[in-house]
Chain A
Amino acid sequence: MKIGIVCPYSWDVPGGVQFHIRDLAEHLIRLGHQVSVLAPADDETPLPPYVVSAGRAVPVPYNGSVARLNFGFLSAARVRRWLHDGTFDVIHIHEPTSPSLGLLACWAAQGPIVATFHTSNPRSRAMLAAYPILQPALEKISARIAVSEYARRTLVEHLGGDAVVIPNGVDVGFFAAAEPRAEWQSGDARSEGGTIGFIGRIDEPRKGLPVLMRALPAILAARPETRLLVAGRGDEEEAVASLPEAMRERVEFLGMVSDADKARLLRSVDLYVAPNTGGESFGIILVEAMSAGAPVLASDLDAFAQVLDLGAAGELFANEDADALAGAAIRLLGDPQRRRELSERGTAHVRRFDWSTVGADILAVYETVTDGAASVAADERTGLRARLGLARE
């Protein structure tokens, strides 16, 4: 099958959607499909052979933060050329509502279009205002995919219609096979159950490190040998500022880590804590932690509860409640039996998120929409001349 994938965000900037598209494209290529990804990228950035650059993305304030987006005549022309040259059987657009390549591709293409909705924004005024503008483009989409039940609900509320839920994929084997690192494991038997892991932007409050920092004194009071390992970008001084001086040495910052080190960290820790306070539509990190066999303790966001099978595959605590977090963490760290149980359940549960399953589901969607339809073509809007019957063809 010839598949075109449209990525709305800059390929140079790491992000959940970009990683998802990269893994999906590579998975499909391994299965023998022809895949081309259209993504914004600087012209100097080295790109994998399957990525086509749609030009540089422009930083624009959008939706409360600065997003790097593509629009304008030049981008529209590149999208059109990509569609024309690609002769795809199906195109798969990610985030079609963001004012970037996704929307442009939706506008410019016809034929079987599949779209994945990643975010689950609460109903915003901008969305309401944009609805009449978006509708003609969105109604071209033959199949909608939401990454979680939660994302699907927001989609139904905002735009009406329906979507199938296919979760984000994870290479379970990669995480399961990673080698633990001794210095990230709890040392001797005495301090067994002694390392807590956290991965995420330090200076992004929504990732929840401040909640964990508020819970840490209670955890250290109960289990003084505990160490907290933090991997992620941000100001380390500021992050520990709220902690008493003596406790700061129990927190180790690892900075940005590679994928391999991330897997090894998750394999090593005794407990993975995800204290995110909101803005999550899926929670890929939880799936990665479970793949690596780490017991997970997460805030009870809708998206997280879904991923953790409503608490069966990992424990949940009341969102933003540092005391609840501390209580649960102390209990889990002192209970190897329960941690082993969570780890086993997690390992069984994550199989549904493995690329082999997720990829098969996405391919099933492609096949369903291509079954009854012709291939993708550039949407040549019928000109006035043609409509009046004057075109010479």
Chain B
Amino acid sequence: MIETLIWIAVAVVAIGMYLSWTAGRLDRLHTRIDAARAALDAQLLRRASVTQELATSGVLDPAASIVLYEAAHAARQAEEEQREVAESELSAALRAVFGEPEQVEAVKEIPGGEDAASELAAAVRRVPMARRFHNDAVRAARALRRHRKVRWFRLAGHAPFPLAFEMDDEPPVALADRPVS
């Protein structure tokens, strides 16, 4: 009798430790998502700022300037629910304006244009990177949260179910191509 009780106690403790360890894993994943989301936000903001700067610098023709300014402004002001759409539209606008290598060359020629162009090139390359890292973290967390042990024992607590950030982040060809530096 006593022996059975001891075994049950050992099993309960073992299961408890396992669940505690899993909760720790989940907690770490949520931290990772937060960090990845912060990094993605930073990159998106950086892209919008550089675009806005270029649009107001008078380097581009007025039509292109307005298109870029509008898109960058909308992306920065977007509510959380419209964010993905607004950022995708900024990608499309950038592709429309910087689709041709000549446009990029023109920007580079003016004083300070070299810096602006390389900063924009860095920004459009890093957005897809940051988004991929973010969605990778989201996927890992979702896979774990769907597991029985996590659902039954409510190990995730009150943390919201993580959502991937879906947007069109295809960079403009002329900028994505390797800078000749």
Contacts and interface: CB of A to CB of B under 8 A. Distances in A.
29 contacts: A110-B28, A139-B32, A139-B144, A142-B36, A142-B133, A144-B133, A160-B140, A162-B132, A162-B135, A162-B136, A164-B129, A351-B180, A356-B181, A361-B125, A364-B125, A364-B126, A368-B39, A368-B43, A368-B129, A371-B35, A371-B38, A371-B42, A371-B43, A372-B37, A373-B35, A381-B24, A382-B24, A384-B17, A387-B20
B35 A372 contact: yes
Nearest to B122: A364
Given A110-B28, A368-B133, 12 more contacts: A144-B136, A160-B140, A161-B136, A162-B139, A164-B133, A361-B125, A368-B126, A369-B35, A371-B130, A372-B38, A382-B24, A387-B20
A361 to B, nearest CB: 8
Contacts of A356: 181
B39 A371 contact: yes
A20 B143 CA distance: 33
Given A364-B126, A371-B42, A142 B35 contact: yes
B148 interface: no
Interface residues of B, number: 34
B178 interface: yes
A315 B6 CA distance: 71
Interface of A: 110, 112, 136, 139-140, 142-144, 160-164, 351-352, 356-357, 361, 364-365, 367-369, 371-373, 381-382, 384, 387
Nearest to B17: A384
Nearest to A352: B178
Contact of B42 (A143, A357, A361, A372): A372
Interface in B52-105: none
B48 interface: no
Contacts of B125: 361, 364
Contacts of B144: 139
A143 B43 CA distance: 15
Contacts of A368: 39, 43, 126, 129-130, 133
B25 A372 contact: no
A356 B33 CA distance: 30
Interface string B22-53: 00110011001011111100110000000000
B126 to A, nearest CB: 6
Contacts of B120: none
B140 A161 contact: yes
Contacts of A361: 125
What are the 9 tightest A-B residue pairs by CB atom distance, in nearest-first order? A372-B38, A372-B35, A373-B35, A371-B39, A372-B39, A161-B136, A139-B140, A143-B133, A352-B178
A357 B181 CA distance: 8
Contact of B129 (A110, A357, A365, A381): A365
Contacts of A143: 129, 133, 136
Nearest to B29: A139
Interface in B95-138: 122, 125-126, 128-130, 132-133, 135-137
B30 to A, nearest CB: 11
A219 B130 CA distance: 50
B139 A364 contact: no
B28 A161 contact: no
Nearest to A136: B25
A373 B32 CA distance: 8
Contacts of A373: 35, 39
A364 B140 contact: no
A367 B123 CA distance: 12
A320 B143 CA distance: 41
Contacts of B122: 364
A187 B20 CA distance: 73
Nearest to A113: B32
Contacts of B143: 160
Contacts of A140: 28, 32
Interface in B166-181: 178-181
A3 B126 CA distance: 20
A1 to B, nearest CB: 15
A163 B29 CA distance: 17
Given A142-B137, A143-B133, A161-B139, A372 B178 contact: no
* Most chain A CB inside 10 Å of its own CB: which residue of B32, B42, B132, B179: B32
